[in-house]
Amino acid sequence: MCCCDEDCRPLGFLLGLPFALLSFLISIVGLVVWIVGLLLTCICPCCICFTLLVEFALELIKAPLHVMEFFMSKIPC
């Protein structure tokens, strides 16, 4: 019998931590891209490319969460 509940996966958390730190650096780049894209969208709101750039940057910002969820789902408790 496992002593922890289904959401508790410490091994997955520890294995995913280096990758989450790397994706955190990528999310900082995403933050810069998001700010630049947001400014460009304000200058020219008719251009769909800038809107897509902002959406891509938001996914980069969410990268550490996606990485940790992936590793924690793959490793059993």
Burial-class residue 40 by CB neighbours within 10 Å (0-12, 13-18, 19+). Answer: middle
pLDDT tens, position by position, 11-33: 777 777 788 788 888 888 888 88
pLDDT tens, position by position, 48-63: 777 888 888 888 888 8
SS3 60: helix
C-alpha 3/C-alpha 12 separation (Å) is 16
- The pLDDT confidence band at residue 34, using thresholds 50, 70 and 90, is confident
Measured CA angle at 17 (ends 16, 21), to 5 deg: 120
